[in-house]
A and B are shown apart, each in its own frame.
Chain A
Amino acid sequence: MEITTQEFKHCDLFKVKGRVDSSTAPDFAKSLEKANNDSRFKIVIDMSELEYMSSAGFRALLATQRNCKKYNRGELVLVSVPERIREALELAGFTELFKTFDDTVAAVGSF
């Protein structure tokens, strides 16, 4: 797994590549927590190069969404969710908890 971040005025863009499982999810969660700890609550996650995500990654998304939406201070949105990952998110009942976009420009522009 590899994470790159880009800070915009209105939101933070995270690009997560590779595989997020129980081994790598703690680092994924930590980088999202760091943004929250820096009072960044508007977060875009670009999943276009994400190959795999297990429930360990879903848990990190859920915890971050909860924290971002507290006091209406922000939101976590997803971009270019690969089909297999979208199907797993759907099975977990997670799709309704996250807005999704087809490209990063639209997602960043939504804030």
Chain B
Amino acid sequence: MPKITFPARFDFLDEIRDLVAKTAREGGFTDKAIYSLQLAADEAASNIIEHAYEGVTDASLDISCDMQGDTIVITMHDTGKSFDPAKVKKPNLKADLSDRQIGGLGVYLMRKLMDDVFYESNSTTGNLLTMTKRRG
């Protein structure tokens, strides 16, 4: 699976979304699904940059994006702090304006937009996030 290494900076999110859109388009996903995949990848990468690499300026992020049959598989590998999306509390979507949580939304969207989100953290090799979605 080919990997692209991006600097772990927010100004590379555009290119990360482009990479996902290209693979998804070639894989026959609809425009609506492509937008969802781009959003999920953006939220995942943003969280890695913001949380796993908090305070780190020269970090990098390896991303692969491929079709396996009718399923798109997006992986993101980082060597920052462990940040397991499954451990992020689900935001209360019914709360009043004043009680709405600002955090946790990105992870929630990722999980809703993808079929599966797996996370593995290894103290030697780093963290690997794998997200998959089948073409409808």
Chain A residues in the interface with B (C-beta under 8 A) = 19, 21-23, 52, 54-56, 58-59, 62-63, 65-66, 69, 84, 87-88, 91-93, 97
Contacts and interface: CB of A to CB of B under 8 A. Distances in A.
Interface of B: 9-11, 13-14, 17, 32, 35, 38-39, 42-43, 46, 49-50, 91, 93-94, 97-98, 100, 102, 105-106, 108-109, 112-113
A9 to B, nearest CB: 26
Given A21-B13, A92-B93, A66 B98 contact: yes
Given A23-B11, A59-B105, A91-B113, 13 more contacts: A22-B10, A22-B42, A22-B46, A23-B10, A55-B43, A55-B106, A56-B106, A62-B97, A66-B98, A66-B100, A69-B97, A88-B109, A97-B100
B14 A19 contact: yes
A54 B102 contact: no
Does more than half of chain A's interface fall in helix, strand or loop, or is it mixed?
Answer: helix
A52 B39 CA distance: 9
Given A21-B10, A22-B46, A93-B93, A59 B102 contact: yes
Contacts of B11: 23
